[in-house]
Amino acid sequence: MHAQVRNITLMTHFADADGAGGVQGQLGLVQRSGQGIRGARSLANSAALIRFPEARGDWVRPGIMLYGCSPFAGRTAESLNLKPAMTLSSEIIATQQLHAGERIGYGFSYDVVGEMAVGVVACGYADGYPRQARAERRCWSTEGHAHVGRVSMDMICVDISDIRGAGIGSAVTLWARACRRTRWRPRPAR
């Protein structure tokens, strides 16, 4: 080992831990390649953590599961008991009053059926909110409110029609470690 190197960590990323191929081929390759090399092994991603405990090594690198999302196409986060490990929050930066027949989002993906107050939240897929989240996804607090329209790069439109006091400056928690649903906090009195 070079004199300037204090320690080595052997790493891999399992390309098919969530699929039919699994991790056995890559795991065998890493084990053979690392023979005789002292150092920690950093191996398992989210899918490998769940499906292949033998592939955990010394360090793990969970990814999507930290957001409370399933790494598997056919299994829900709820079935795996996954919850967000962090809080994602923002605020409403604009409001609009919409009328029946108007549409929201890329591709006009949401049709307004009646009078609707909409808040524009400063958060989108560039900030980690799932781009594939469907319009009308029930992601809000006990009030049962949902975002409407397609998630864009830096904005989400939300129905605030029935939320007293919601408006520009209102804090919005999109997901949180302690809960599975969004919470609204009324904007402070000015």
pLDDT digits (tens, 9 = 90+) for 65-97: 888 888 998 898 889 998 888 888 888 999 999
Residue 104 burial (10 A CB sphere; 0-12, 13-18, 19+): buried
pTM of this structure: 0.59
Q: Is residue 190 part of a domain?
A: no
Of the residues 38, 55, 85, the one at which a domain ends: 85
Same domain, 66 and 115: no
Same domain, 80 and 94: no
- Domain of 124 in residue numbering reads as 88-185
Of the residues 31, 52, 85, the one at which a domain ends: 85
How far apart CA 122 and CA 89 sit, in angstroms, is 9
Same domain, 4 and 19: yes
Report residues of the chain scoring pLDDT below 70: 1, 132-146, 176-190
pLDDT at 186: 44
Same domain, 94 and 181: yes
Same domain, 81 and 115: no
